[in-house]
Structure 1
Amino acid sequence: MRFLALASAAALGLLTMSSGSFGQKPDDQINPVSITFQKQGEAALAAGNLVAANDALETALVADPKNRAAYVTLGKVAQAQQLPGKAIRYYKDALLLEPNDVAALSGEGGALVQRGAVDRAKDNLARVQKICGNATCPAATTLAAAIAKGPPAPVQTAQASDKVPPKGQEQSAVPEKN
């Protein structure tokens, strides 16, 4: 009689733990709705519509946050918008899901070059080349070309009226009367 309560408690616990895994999907399956929005985002990016691409890809991630390809494509969108810091964040999110994702490593390296961190981009290139092995790898070739090109030149935004005159030639705020 004493063992009946213990046995029923153990059976109930085992039943509860095993039934929780029936409805779960494996980690490698992405929600089809997420994939649909990802494809829409990729098409919008290819068409040059960065706002629509960003919206579709963010929707894809809401549908399934494990969609690595959506993170990588969002990184490409951010780079096209000249936002390398945001791109790096998206590539890092993809790399958290799969540390050896060659597309994410290469994209992150390109964003690092865009931001001026060429040495860190070279580290990414070494990782990509190690993952690819002896095979020719388009991601490694693209990243090597971006590193060779170097970071973009800084944009000059000062106007001629913003220049400071040399010492002794300051302009007065009050016009002189003749």
Structure 2
Amino acid sequence: MRYTSVAVAAALAMVSISTSLHGARPDDQIDAKSMALLEQGRAARAAGNVEGAIDLIETAVVVDPRNRQGFIELAELSRARGLPGKAIRLYREALLLEPNDVNALQGQGEALVAKGAVERAKANLARVKTLCKTACPQANALASVIAKGPPVATASTVPVKPTAKD
């Protein structure tokens, strides 16, 4: 008697899991609408409409969260806007989908350098070199960014008010 409710719950769980797995598409099949939105976003970016491009590409990623190129495009747009932290997160999303994407590793490494995390960028460079086997442009570009180092932060030019002491 006690095991009947547990057995029923387990059976329902198995049925729901098998149903959800049966309806899932393979990872290499990205929704066509998502790809069309990505292309529209790229066209908007090329035309200089950055905000429109971001909106279209974000929509593409929402339509199909497996659209790795969408995450990479958004990360590049974030880097161009001076948001390296957001770019790092977006590159990480792309790398969760395909851990061996050398373009995403390069972009994330460059964003890490911009954020000041040079050691983590060097780890990305080592991984890119491992994946490439021979010299590749992604490894060379990332190595040159690491060699330059993080951007120098300038001090604020706002004068500090002296405090009066009694």
TM-score, L = length of structure 2: 0.80
1:154 maps to amino acid? A
Aligned partner of 1:120 in structure 2 is 120
Q: Aligned equivalents of 2:150 and 2:47: distance in 1?
A: 25
1:153 maps to amino acid? V
Aligned partner of 2:144 in structure 1 is 145
Q: Aligned equivalents of 1:104 and 1:119: distance in 2?
A: 17
Greater gyration radius: 1
What does the per-residue CA deviation read over 1:108-150, in whole Å, with 9 as the maximum and x for residues that have no partner?
A: 001000101111101101100100111x322112211211221
Aligned partner of 1:158 in structure 2 is 157
1:163 maps to amino acid? V
SS at match of 2:29: coil
Aligned-pair distance for 1:102? 0.8
Which consecutive residues of structure 1, in runs of 5 or more, have no partner in the other structure? 1-12, 171-178
Aligned-pair distance for 1:37? 1.3
What does the per-residue CA deviation read over 1:87-109, in whole Å, with 9 as the maximum and x for residues that have no partner?
A: 01001111111111111111100
1:150 maps to amino acid? G
Q: Aligned equivalents of 1:60 and 1:118: distance in 2?
A: 32
Matches within 5 A, 1:36-55: 36-55=36-55
Matches within 5 A, 1:105-116: 105-116=105-116
Distance change (3 Å), C-alpha of 1:20 and 1:109: closer
Q: Aligned equivalents of 1:50 and 1:114: distance in 2?
A: 21
Aligned-pair distance for 1:20? 6.6
2:109 maps to amino acid? G
Aligned partner of 1:71 in structure 2 is 71
Matches within 5 A, 1:71-90: 71-90=71-90
Distance change (3 Å), C-alpha of 1:62 and 1:163: same
Aligned-pair distance for 1:39? 1.6
State the identity as a percent.
51
* Count of residues in Structure 1 that have an aligned counterpart in Structure 2: 150
Superposition RMSD in Å: 2.5
Instruction: Choose 140-149 or 103-112, whichever is displaced more.
Output: 140-149
Larger helix percent: 2
SS at match of 1:105: helix
Aligned-pair distance for 1:66? 0.1
Q: Aligned equivalents of 1:152 and 1:78: distance in 2?
A: 16
Distance change (3 Å), C-alpha of 1:29 and 1:117: same
1:151 maps to amino acid? P
